[in-house]
């Protein structure tokens, strides 16, 4: 597929207008490079890319950005130019006219919305919470409206006005959804990411189903904090009202583990097949911030101990967008290949709770589990305990399992 077919910039000059694509995730890797992810693809860029991405947070010309960024000489200026061209070629910097349509393109695919709509516990739970919460005077903002089902539900529940925020191309479907359900006069579609959107009035109720497979990987915390600061009236209610994140100790089946991890058995298998020493690959493992995503139906028989609470956030109160905690898990049976999966319980409204704890999920549950293998403590005997360290900061979750607590 060509750059033009991807909606990316095939050629730029000094007067080209660009803006940072809205679906970009940046990870700090080392002192010289940063990792940039977009649509599931990873790219390493020089450290100056941070300044470039920040400069293009709003639409600007290449000339304007180059003039605004500090330069230590011709070589540094050339590096900035090359970085801009590379980011544009990869669709990380895009034509402002395409930023909304091309951003978060994966959310347009029918499969994504079919699985969410088929998850009746999820969708009916949110709709029940809206019906229990909305009053005729409410102004509702639905962040990440998708097909528009929750915005439609809020309007049908009697809200005076609903703002449906959606940056991906599925917004076109949502607009038709509002028309076909007779609520278009009270629902305003806002085709932007919520963090760059503005509303003509402050909302009294926020609803957002931006809970990820790793519960926070869709930046739920950042979305709600930003909405509370800019889009919500004081005392506004939020659906979900609270979120609990749990660690579930599991025994990872060897076939699954060996699809993602260099085990001693696999390395011996390779030695026998190729006549080479592969022992150095034993150290080439996933990091504590790289989970394996597994279907919830696969995990049902894996738990080797009860879930333990890692974090609890009350969205009606002030909270930080970073988390750090430690918990102790106890094995009720042997774990030959120990791992931790993250699950959640979301209080949507009073008496309405959505849970992905292994004993609670239905067959139609669309959430996968983020699985973190325990490399430092690969096995656990029945009755033994282990310490789980958990943290979340700026889009990155870390889970680490140790025998003894870290200092």
Task: Write out the two tokens for 26.
Answer: 């940046």
Q: What is the pLDDT of residue 370?
A: 96
CA distance 46 to 35: 9
pLDDT over threshold 80, residue 302: yes
pLDDT over threshold 50, residue 103: no
pLDDT over threshold 90, residue 169: no
pLDDT over threshold 50, residue 98: yes
3-state secondary structure (DSSP) of residue 156: helix
Domains of the chain: 17-98 (3.90.930.60), 107-239 (3.40.50.150), 243-254+286-402 (2.70.160.11)
CA distance 213 to 371: 10
Over residues 317-333, mean pLDDT: 96
Neighbours of 266 (CB within 10 A): 17
Q: What is the pLDDT of residue 358?
A: 94
% of the chain beyond a pLDDT of 90: 68
Q: Measured on CA atoms in the order 59, 64, 69, 75, is the torsion positive or negative?
A: positive
Residue 35 banded pLDDT, cuts 50, 70, 90 = confident
pLDDT tens per residue across span 365-381: 999 999 999 998 889 99
% of the chain beyond a pLDDT of 70: 93
pLDDT over threshold 70, residue 178: yes
Instruction: Give the global pTM.
Output: 0.77
Task: Write out the two tokens for 55.
Answer: 């400069």
Residue 2 banded pLDDT, cuts 50, 70, 90 = very low
CA distance 51 to 66: 11
CA distance 387 to 374: 11
Over residues 379-406, mean pLDDT: 93
Q: What is the pLDDT of residue 384?
A: 96
pLDDT over threshold 50, residue 273: yes
Could you identify the residue written with the tokens 């609903």? 162
Average pLDDT, the chain: 90
pLDDT tens per residue across span 210-255: 999 999 999 999 999 999 999 999 999 999 999 999 999 999 999 9
Order across the sheet with 203-208: list the strands: 187-190, 161-165, 139-143, 203-208, 232-239
Q: What is the pLDDT of residue 8?
A: 40
Length of the chain, in residues: 407
Task: Write out the two tokens for 401.
Answer: 């399992």
Q: What is the pLDDT of residue 4?
A: 40
Residue 7 banded pLDDT, cuts 50, 70, 90 = very low
Q: What is the pLDDT of residue 111?
A: 81
Over residues 190-197, mean pLDDT: 90
Q: Measured on CA atoms in the order 72, 75, 79, 81, is the torsion positive or negative?
A: positive
**DSSP structural state of residue 217:** T
**DSSP structural state of residue 167:** -
Could you identify the residue written with the tokens 């983020």? 370
- Find the largest Cα–Cα distance for the chain: 74
CA distance 236 to 64: 40
CA distance 306 to 248: 7
Peptide bond into 153 cis (omega under 30): no
């Amino acid at each position: 597929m060509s750059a033009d077919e991807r909606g990316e910039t095939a050629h730029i000059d000094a007067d080209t207008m660009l803006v940072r694509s809205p679906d970009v995730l940046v990870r700090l890797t080392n002192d010289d490079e940063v990792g940039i992810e977009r649509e599931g693809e990873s790219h390493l860029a020089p450290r100056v890319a941070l300044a470039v991405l920040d400069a293009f947070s709003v639409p600007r010309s290449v000339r304007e950005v180059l003039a605004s960024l500090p330069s230590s000489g011709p070589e540094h200026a050339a590096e900035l130019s090359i970085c801009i061209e590379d980011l544009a070629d990869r669709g990380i910097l895009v034509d402002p006219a395409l930023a909304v349509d091309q951003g978060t393109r994966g959310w347009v695919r029918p499969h994504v919305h079919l699985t969410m709509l088929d998850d009746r516990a999820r969708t009916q739970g949110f709709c029940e919470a809206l019906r229990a919460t909305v009053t005729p005077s409410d102004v509702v903002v639905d962040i990440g409206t998708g097909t528009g089902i929750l915005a439609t539900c809020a309007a049908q529940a009697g809200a005076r006005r609903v703002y449906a925020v959606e940056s991906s191309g599925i917004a076109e479907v949502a607009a038709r959804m509002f028309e076909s359900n007779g609520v278009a006069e009270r629902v305003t579609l806002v085709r932007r990411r919520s963090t760059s959107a503005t509303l003509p009035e402050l909302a009294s109720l926020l609803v957002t189903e931006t809970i990820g497979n790793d519960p926070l990987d869709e930046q739920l915390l950042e979305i709600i904090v930003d909405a509370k600061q800019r889009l919500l009236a004081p005392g506004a209610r939020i659906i979900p009202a609270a979120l609990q994140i749990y660690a579930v100790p599991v025994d990872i089946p060897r076939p699954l583990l060996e699809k993602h991890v260099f085990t001693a058995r696999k390395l011996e298998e390779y030695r026998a097949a190729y006549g080479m020493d592969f022992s150095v690959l034993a150290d080439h493992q996933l990091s504590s911030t790289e989970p394996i995503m597994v279907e919830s139906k696969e995990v049902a028989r894996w738990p080797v101990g009860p879930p333990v609470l890692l974090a609890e956030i009350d969205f009606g109160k002030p909270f930080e967008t970073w988390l750090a905690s430690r918990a102790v898990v106890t094995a009720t049976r042997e774990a030959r290949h120990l791992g931790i999966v993250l699950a959640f319980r979301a209080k949507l409204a009073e008496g309405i709770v959505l849970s992905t704890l292994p004993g609670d999920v239905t067959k139609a549950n669309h959430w996968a589990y983020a699985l973190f293998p325990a490399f430092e403590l690969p096995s656990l005997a029945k009755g033994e305990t282990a310490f789980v360290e958990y943290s979340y900061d700026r889009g990155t979750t870390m889970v680490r399992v140790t025998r003894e607590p870290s200092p």
